[in-house]
Amino acid sequence: MTAAAPIRLLLADDHPVVRAGLRAVLETEPGFEVVADVPTAEAAVTLAERPGIDVVLMDLRFGGEMRGSQATAAITAREGAPRVLVLTTYDSDADILAAIEAGATGYLLKDAPPEELAAAVRTAAAGKSALAPTIALRLMDRMRAPATALTRRETEVLQLVADGLSNAQISKKLFLSQATVKSHLVHIYAKLGVDSRTSAVAAGTAQGLIRR
Amino acid sequence: MTAAAPIRLLLADDHPVVRAGLRAVLETEPGFEVVADVPTAEAAVTLAERPGIDVVLMDLRFGGEMRGSQATAAITAREGAPRVLVLTTYDSDADILAAIEAGATGYLLKDAPPEELAAAVRTAAAGKSALAPTIALRLMDRMRAPATALTRRETEVLQLVADGLSNAQISKKLFLSQATVKSHLVHIYAKLGVDSRTSAVAAGTAQGLIRR
DNA sequence: CCCGCGCTCCACCTTTCGATTGATGCCGCC
DNA sequence: GGCGGCATCAATCGAAAGGTGGAGCGCGGG
């Protein structure tokens, strides 16, 4: 095989400026070829089905319906799918975990310098996982302190609390009894070291456990 | 005057990718000249002092200390200062108002299409105010519904609620009785159309009345 | 196989919050 | 000078939330 085979890229971001920036940054680097760029998650899923794409650079938040993590899951579900490298502004735990669970090969922040970006794309193309230092650190923290790790259900409840719902509303929405909601909340308070729903929301957003 | 005099630009954004994108987008348009791009608000203030800059494209949030609104205020405070066009991802009321009060000539969202961006820069260079349609709409809303405008004290209380404090803690912190805190909260709920502290926080953050 | 953990639920009690009503002093504006 | 908005405080009452101490079930790992 020739060493000169370029890595073929698909860019998915709803900001035209960011797409242009990625193009500019990556096309000046040797060994990259931007095949297409799209402004929606849906378009990314469609285009990623076509052969000839090695790596998809995927934003997490789009203006439209589908979230980047869903698109990532849809893409990586298929056989011989391209690698997906998540590239976003946010470094919240919830987003990171959602992306990794969805099958993302890597997770980068948009404030990454161009060299780091290029290196991560090469790493991803080779099938190896690429995490931004900040992200890696955050994951290490999470491993070390399992206290701050909420369960799936607890996170769900906390998110609804953050949305302003009462225990009664949450219980209806999740088909639970209020007792169960309270029980989850007690555990959440213990894990976050707080004693009220509002401070739990504050702690949760501060630690990026829930999206704002 | 010659029609060919280019508009000289300074780009301030902490994301290398975004800076590259803005360069790419604006340099393909005729009549623009990107003089420099900087990754910090401090550098933007310094460079904006030099003559030969017509418009500063300013992000609101930087990784470092200084916020974009502060930098905007510092730049526009001087005589013969360049116009500042705020270009950010966020459309929260608090950010918008801070930027406008700081003397920004315009406010754009990063998901704006290139043509809109170019048009806004030309508008700003001519000294006229340039607002993204979304932003203009939001400001109209605010004008129409003065109910969403919290008083200084109410905002202060709501911020503390968002930080997770109880009524008792807030009353101590602000040297008030709990009755007063409750009174403020009642007014806040009425203005935001909610009926609990958590939903008030949700509504407040959604409308950008308080910082997260 | 049993233990731990996550998820579900119950009962009882205390504290906090929210709703209502009403009042006072201050300040700016017409 | 009166009127309205803002900030301050009081009292009361019912509803919601939090604290405590349980308990059963399913599932995966040691």
Averaged pLDDT of chain A:
86
A210: left (phi over 0), alpha (psi -120 to 50) or beta: beta
List, by residue range, all CATH 3.40.50.2300 domains of chain B. 7-142
- Using the CB atom, is residue B199 less than 7 Å from strand D? no
Say how far residue B65 (Cα) sits from the centre of its chain.
Answer: 16
The CA–CA distances, whole Å, from B154 to A74, B41, B157 equal 45, 31, 5
Residue span(s) of chain B under CATH 1.10.10.10 come to 146-206
Mean pLDDT of B136-143: 63
DSSP-derived pairing of the beta strands B106-109 and A130-131: unpaired
CA–CA distance, A210 with A191 (Å, rounded to integer): 14
Least confident of A56-65, A75-84, A203-212, B2-11: B2-11
Instruction: Extract the tokens encoding B163.
Output: 């930080």
Mutate to test the interface with A, among B14, B15, B17, B91 (most CBs of A within 10 A): B17
Q: Which of the 38-77 residues on chain B come under 7 Å of nucleic strand C at their beta carbon?
A: none
Given this model, what pLDDT does residue B91 score? 67
Mean per-residue pLDDT, B1-25:
84
pTM greater than the 0.85 cutoff: no
Q: What is the CATH number of domain B7-142?
A: 3.40.50.2300
Asked whether residue B183, judged by its CB, lies under 7 Å from any atom of the DNA or RNA strand D, the reply is yes
Alpha-carbon distance values, B7 to B22, B23, B199 (Å): 14, 13, 46
pLDDT at A147: 46
Nearest nucleotide over every DNA/RNA strand to the B185 CA, judged by C1': C18
- At B146 the pLDDT is 45
Kindly tell me if the per-residue pLDDT of A84 is higher than 60: yes
Architecture of the domain made up of B146-206: Orthogonal Bundle (1.10)
DSSP A124: H
Proximity of residue A199 CB to strand D below 7 A: no
Which residue of chain A is at minimal alpha-carbon distance from B164?
A199
Percentage of chain B modeled with pLDDT above 90: 37
Whether A1 shows a pLDDT value over 90: the answer reads no
E strands of A28-176, at which residues? 32-38, 55-58, 83-88, 106-109, 130-131
pLDDT tens, position by position, A94-151? 677 778 878 888 888 888 888 888 999 999 889 888 887 777 776 665 555 544 678 8
Q: What confidence score (pLDDT) does residue B211 get?
A: 76
User: pLDDT by residue (tens digit) across B170-204?
Assistant: 999 999 999 999 999 999 999 999 999 999 999 99
Please check whether strand D approaches the CB of B155 to within 7 Å. no
- What lies within 8 Å, CB to CB, of B154 at 6+ separation is B184, B187, B188, B191
User: For B132, phi and psi rounded to 5 degrees?
Assistant: -65, 145
CA distance A114 to chain B (A): 7
Write down the residue that tokens 């203005």 correspond to.
B191
Tell me which residue of B129, B162, B93 sits closest to A197, measured CA to CA: B162
Q: A114–B24: do the CB atoms touch at under 8 Å? A: no
Closest Cα of chain B to A8: distance in Å? 19
Question: Per the CB < 8 Å rule, is B23 touching A24?
Answer: yes
Is the CB of B154 less than 7 A from some atom of nucleic acid strand D? Answer: yes
Spanning CA of A101 to C1' of C21, the rounded length in angstroms is 54
Instruction: Give the mean model confidence (pLDDT) for residues B100-117.
Output: 85
Provide the pLDDT for residue A68. 81
Closest-lying nucleotide for B161 based on CA to C1': C17
- For B48-106, write each residue's pLDDT tens digit: 888 888 999 999 888 766 777 788 888 888 878 889 999 888 766 667 777 777 788 88
How confident is the prediction for chain B on average, in pLDDT?
85
